[in-house]
Structure 1
């Protein structure tokens, strides 16, 4: 059962809570008061705790579904554009000026994509903080569920903060609902921001169950596997390789397995498959509970925006007959661009996901895959390649074996057991590029490994500047200089 079935049940309640209890996050740094929060009639019983948690998840729906510019800011769209894998695409070179800025690495401080990413992420953080502050005061008969609710809120707060840190570097750390006069919070360092994220994830890891031990009604929620996978990613982005190894061992002990057929992962039957650690669940119906990404990346000829088109370099990276090429990209002739689109978030006829029939064409039922076991295997292999090359090769070969499926062993052959050093690391980099193409990791992989300047400078990337995006100008203005701008 998808989590957003639950959201439809609770949405009228959670939205009411949002309206009566919260100062708008878009005015997070504004000194004006719009009324005192009214909390005494809420957070009094377990049902309301669940409703408040659903409201915390709802910002995921906005980031990946209903908020036009926030969806443009996801790693699957904004994050892929301007790399050596993808161009902007669209109807023309200039179509969609905010994305065009990313394509040419000329990002302005007034880019609406960055503004919405900031606002919606902090909205999710506010919702999480309300749960974390108020749910401990509620009496539960089921004390385990109480711990789980708080752990899910900590996971979601970590998720929203990671979104911000990846994009902007160090950001204001807000660990509780703020009172009037407290809104103007300065930026923390990137290191402190990551520490805060890690602390949240440690709570989530300790108190969340694995969905493998739960009933089907748990599907859609963050679980221990999601928290461990996220912690591996957070550790990798900080080059904490021993930490990647530690949390990888904990994750692999849970019993997740790669689903056998790569081509099914991004089809309806692949939702929450055996190798899925965390997804954002969506529905296509009149409630507009769907994802907006498929509409952005589908061709103009198929009711899409035509954005995120693959460069030749990505297509040429695949080995001969690698089935993942066809499972990742498809050709559709257009008047502008490379004509190669991302199949992983496509509609029919390129996948089994139907084009939405509601009036909202971006209301797609495609789940957004956030953390996959194959990604965790490759993070783990990268963490140990210099200390235990044989074990690293084993985990890369798990990914390659699944990639070739029923084909002959000469198709995507196993890495040689004698591989080590830089050749092994290069093989891991290659595997991440082809296994995870179109999922929003390439830019961050290049930045964290120090390869961004060499590979992206031909497209306009400037080292020391473009690793992070500009803080939205409206937030800097509201802070009256408390928020320091990045190098823009």
Structure 2
């Protein structure tokens, strides 16, 4: 998209070798839209067929492997060594999954910076759309840095495309990295419309709700509970409504009323689909069998909780736990048929990144110590929706008098079962200080394994300006 191709008789007149094609781009509003589309592509690539290593490194697999939720799985203990290093906390600085996280997300930062650097100089007839494009780019840059900071801690902060001689940038502190993300999200929140004011063709673009939801999450990860509360109340002013849990991850559940942000996937072209069903399906059913569900997570569910069967399925006869993630599954375990285009890893199942239930439970956690009755109400919104039409004894409401540590534990429980297999468990344990206890038996080492190693290749490329984590 950022290059031009000539098919006439002058095709050999290619100009000076190395001349950046971007100089001939970003001239029109159409260029701006295409540049913005490019800025979204690394977000999709982390879960997509086109980049196998990146898709093994995504939050849905690499993120929670090594916790009490997911087992690496595969064909044997040594299948997927890049994931095995995460499972037993033996990561090395040449781990290919870790390097993929760095490369893909910094590509996203570059593409977002190109939009933010070039689009202000383009003349638009529709000035509101220009404002939206820039706000979307701010959201995207914030998202990529959110991925980087939760993986590596403080990282180099780039607010523009770098020129020759500028490439070696030292790491910022984790605090400065979060501040950078917050500043981008504040612009996005201010300037983005709500998807509820847009046609369905807008779905897949970041909107105000997505920016508010991501701001809640990065505030939670910093223990800034007042911010979680403030931005949550702004989000709840938008017309989101919890949807039936059984359809959330089905085709008809894409962009449901409780979906705050998703990555659009498509199976009608070779590189536009997600790899996740292929990664997570049993090997006996044509998949790879990664990310199997641990018994500890299955045992966390209350009796008859409908979310259990909506989240998991069992196929015997394979290596590992033999329990698999139904949220990203092919037929007959979902209504997503195996693809006919692009190979086995090309499912059209959207990746759900932020849901209303997440916002409700983040909000409840932010106020549990100051306004316990309201916190209970928000947890019960999630529990009431979870039981659906079942009797009130199924996933019963929390008592209105619940408070203190018992309420906090109930919120932790609800997060674990509500988001089972969605890639939030590891970060929830890190931010709440529970990882050192819960994950110690799995090999987790405090003050080391909270983050991943910086890829040694990147340290070498920086002429050693980048400093390594405790690896």
Length-normalised TM-score, structure 2? 0.96
User: Which whole-Å deviations, capped at 9, do the CAs of 1:412-457 have from their partners, x for residues lacking one?
Assistant: 0000000000000000000000000100000000000000010001
Matched, 1:168 2:152: yes
Matched, 1:440 2:423: yes
Conserved in 1, the CA contact under 8 Å of 2:168 and 2:462?
A: yes
* Alpha-carbon shift at residue 285 of structure 1 (Å): 2.1
Matched, 1:325 2:308: yes
Conserved in 2, the CA contact under 8 Å of 1:288 and 1:360?
A: no
| Structure 1 residue aligned with 2:10 | none
User: Which whole-Å deviations, capped at 9, do the CAs of 1:151-206 have from their partners, x for residues lacking one?
Assistant: 00000111111110010000000110100000000000000000000000001000
Matched, 1:212 2:196: yes
| Structure 2 residue aligned with 1:275 | 258
1:199 to 175, 183, 188: 183
Q: Give the match's secondary structure for 2:134.
A: helix
Measured in 2, the distance between the counterparts of 1:380 and 1:297 equals 31
2:174 to 163, 171, 190: 190
| Structure 1 residue aligned with 2:60 | 76
Measured in 2, the distance between the counterparts of 1:162 and 1:465 equals 19
| Structure 2 residue aligned with 1:25 | none
- CA spacing shift, 1:136–1:359, aligned 2, 3 Å: closer
| Structure 2 residue aligned with 1:16 | 3
1:311 to 282, 289, 294: 294
* Alpha-carbon shift at residue 314 of structure 1 (Å): 0.6
Measured in 1, the distance between the counterparts of 2:161 and 2:70 equals 39
| Structure 2 residue aligned with 1:390 | 373
Measured in 2, the distance between the counterparts of 1:286 and 1:154 equals 28
Measured in 2, the distance between the counterparts of 1:338 and 1:386 equals 38
| Structure 1 residue aligned with 2:324 | 341
Measured in 2, the distance between the counterparts of 1:449 and 1:142 equals 45
* Alpha-carbon shift at residue 345 of structure 1 (Å): 0.4
| Structure 2 residue aligned with 1:487 | 470
Aligned length: 459
Matched, 1:109 2:93: yes
RMSD value over aligned CA atoms? 1.2
Matched, 1:284 2:282: no
Q: Give the match's secondary structure for 1:266.
A: coil
Measured in 1, the distance between the counterparts of 2:192 and 2:4 equals 25
Measured in 2, the distance between the counterparts of 1:54 and 1:266 equals 24
Measured in 2, the distance between the counterparts of 1:40 and 1:108 equals 39
